[in-house]
């Protein structure tokens, strides 16, 4: 698990760049290849989630399954990390913070937990930040190869990707967008949480194709309808649907002749049919793709 600092990939350096220097010295000898999340909780051990589980970072710059002798995150380090990810300007990212995350260069998303400041029932800010979770943005070219024959047809077919959390649904959607766009289809991405396209200063770090347009940081239902009206897409892609408003927007888009490819948290189609808003929507998709709990693995494909 050890490599020299100058051998780190660009993605690895992007993650390390925002970390306090006191923590970087423990991480610079560890390969971050396969890292999913780097979690910092004030007063708790520094941990990294890889594909094969959670490891703790020791003071010797090693990985351990046990928290003994692990580096403890300090309040001062949390403050420094926040200053780095916000570029010392909390105000400039206040809209992101109230959603619980900040997107940094490279498309990586920094989740935030602390004390929510509410107004009229809505979260306006998060203060007393006690935990930050750096979720590494990853691109897997070919992640959707096994499903494209069911989607890339004339016209493009609507598809629903069902997946438990952290099992590769966003990565698959991203690769579907890339593949369809390179096949000559006009693609629109409604990216409410700035995770699917991971835009940073108006650009995505991923290959989404030449015919893909992105509307990010906008509520999914509204964003999908805006793309429909303004970008003439053949297909609209969005992540993690579930609300009644989102389901109504998807139904309206499909009725207009535009395909929709979306993801939803769940284990299988039968389970979704027990959820009120989705029970009406699921039968409208041409294909339902279910991912297994093994990351990126397709468990089942059901065509209409």
Reported as a single tens digit per residue, the pLDDT across 199-224 is 878 889 899 999 999 999 899 999 99
Mean pLDDT of 121-149: 90
Q: Are residues 158 and 278 in the same domain?
A: yes
Helix (H) or strand (E) holding 265: strand 259-265
Enclosing domain of residue 107: 5-135
Which band of pLDDT confidence, cut at 50, 70 and 90, is reported for residue 14? low
Question: How do 109-119 and 35-41 pair as beta strands?
Answer: unpaired
CATH classification of the domain holding 184: 3.40.50.300
| 141 in a structural domain | no
Residue 52 sits in the same domain as residue 161: no
Last residue of a domain, one of 74, 100, 135: 135
- Confidence class for position 283, pLDDT limits 50, 70, 90: very high
156 within domain boundaries: yes
Of 108, 135, 162, which closes a domain? 135
- On whether both 191 and 294 belong to a single domain, the answer is yes
Name the range with the highest mean pLDDT among 39-53, 84-98, 108-122: 39-53
Among residues 111, 135, 159, the one where a domain terminates is 135
Residue 12's pLDDT is 52
For 89, the token pair is 């300007």
| pLDDT grade for 163, boundaries at 50, 70 and 90 | very high
Per-residue pLDDT, averaged over 2-10, amounts to: 35
CA 289 → CA 81, 116, 152, distances in Å?
38, 36, 14
Tell me what pLDDT residue 217 has.
86
Confidence at residue 7, expressed as pLDDT on a 0 to 100 scale: 36
**Quick one: pLDDT at residue 277?**
84
Is 217 part of a structural domain of the chain?
Answer: yes
pTM over 0.85: no
Tell me the average pLDDT across 124-137: 90
The confidence score (pLDDT) of residue 6 equals 35
Best-predicted range by mean pLDDT (10-14, 135-139, 203-207, 210-214): 210-214
Q: Looking at the structure, do residues 131 and 156 belong to the same domain, yes or no?
A: no
Tell me, yes or no, whether 155 and 299 share the same domain. yes
The pLDDT, as a whole number, for residue 162 is: 95
Nearest residue to 142 via CA among 171, 164, 170, 166: 171
Residues 175, 244: one domain?
yes
- Average per-residue pLDDT in the chain? 89
Give the CA-trace dihedral at 258, 235, 253, 280, to 10 degrees.
Answer: 100
Domain membership flag for residue 142: no
- Identify whether 143 is part of a domain: no
* Cβ neighbours, 10 Å, residue 51: 12
- Of the two residues 273 and 70, the one the predictor is more confident about is 70
Q: What does the alpha-carbon distance between residue 244 and residue 253 come to, in Å, rounded to a whole number?
A: 14
* 80 and 9 housed in the same domain: yes
Establish how many alpha carbons lie within 13 A of residue 258's alpha carbon, considering only the half-sphere containing its beta carbon. 25
Span 75-101, average pLDDT:
84
Same domain, 177 and 297: yes
Q: How far is CA 16 from CA 20, 37, 133, 254, 256, in A?
A: 8, 12, 13, 43, 46
Nearest to 28 by CA among 57, 56, 55, 50: 57
Q: Is residue 50 part of a domain?
A: yes
Distances in Å between the alpha carbon of 218 and those of 96, 186, 258, 260?
11, 20, 20, 17
Residue 165 is given by DSSP the state: T
**pLDDT band, residue 263 (cuts 50/70/90):** very high
Q: How many other C-beta atoms lie within 10 A of the C-beta of residue 298?
A: 17
Split into its structural domains, the chain has a count of 2
pLDDT at residue 13 greater than cutoff 70: no
Q: What is the mean pLDDT of residues 121-136?
A: 89
- Residue 164 sits in the same domain as residue 123: no
**Considering the domain boundaries, does residue 140 fall inside one?**
no
Cα–Cα distance, 103 to 134 (Å, whole number) = 9
For residue 208, count CB atoms less than 10 angstroms from its CB and return exposed for 0-12, middle for 13-18, buried for 19 or more: buried
In this structure, what CATH number is given to the domain that contains residue 42? 3.30.450
Q: What is the reported pLDDT for 102?
A: 85
- Tell me, yes or no, whether 204 and 77 share the same domain: no
Give whole-number Cα distances, 303 to 157, 180, 185, 272, 283, in Å: 10, 19, 21, 16, 10
Question: 42 and 111 share a domain?
Answer: yes
Q: Are residues 123 and 248 in the same domain?
A: no
Looking at residues 46-55, what average pLDDT do you find? 92
User: Does residue 2 register a pLDDT over 60?
Assistant: no
Rounded mean pLDDT of 79-87? 89
């Amino acid at each position: 698990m050890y490599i020299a600092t100058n051998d780190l990939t660009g993605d690895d350096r992007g993650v390390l760049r925002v970390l306090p220097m006191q923590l970087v010295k423990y991480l610079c000898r560890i390969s971050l290849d396969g890292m999913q999340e780097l979690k910092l909780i004030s007063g708790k051990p520094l941990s990294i989630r890889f594909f094969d589980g959670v490891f703790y970072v020791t003071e010797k710059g090693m990985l351990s399954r046990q928290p003994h002798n692990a580096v403890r995150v300090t309040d001062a380090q949390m403050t420094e990390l926040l200053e780095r990810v916000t570029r010392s300007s909390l105000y400039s990212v206040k809209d992101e913070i109230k959603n619980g995350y900040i997107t940094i260069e490279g498309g990586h998303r920094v989740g935030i937990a602390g004390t929510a400041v509410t107004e009229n029932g809505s979260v306006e800010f998060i203060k007393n930040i006690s935990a930050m979770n750096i979720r590494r943005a990853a691109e897997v070219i070919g992640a959707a190869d096994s499903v494209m024959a069911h989607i890339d047809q004339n016209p493009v077919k609507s598809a629903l990707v069902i997946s438990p959390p952290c099992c590769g649904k966003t990565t698959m959607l991203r690769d579907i967008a890339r593949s369809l766009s390179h096949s000559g289809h006009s693609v629109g991405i409604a990216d409410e949480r700035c995770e699917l396209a991971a835009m940073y200063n108006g650009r995505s770090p991923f290959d989404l194709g030449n015919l893909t347009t992105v509307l990010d940081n906008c509520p999914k239902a509204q964003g999908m309808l805006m793309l429909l009206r303004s970008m003439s897409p053949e297909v609209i892609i969005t992540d993690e649907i579930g609300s009644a408003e989102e389901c109504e927007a998807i139904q309206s888009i499909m009725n207009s002749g535009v395909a929709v490819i979306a993801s939803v948290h769940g284990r299988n189609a039968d389970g979704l049919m027990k959820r009120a808003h989705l029970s009406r929507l699921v039968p409208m998709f041409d294909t339902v793709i279910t991912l297994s709990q093994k990351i990126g693995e397709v468990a089942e494909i059901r065509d209409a």
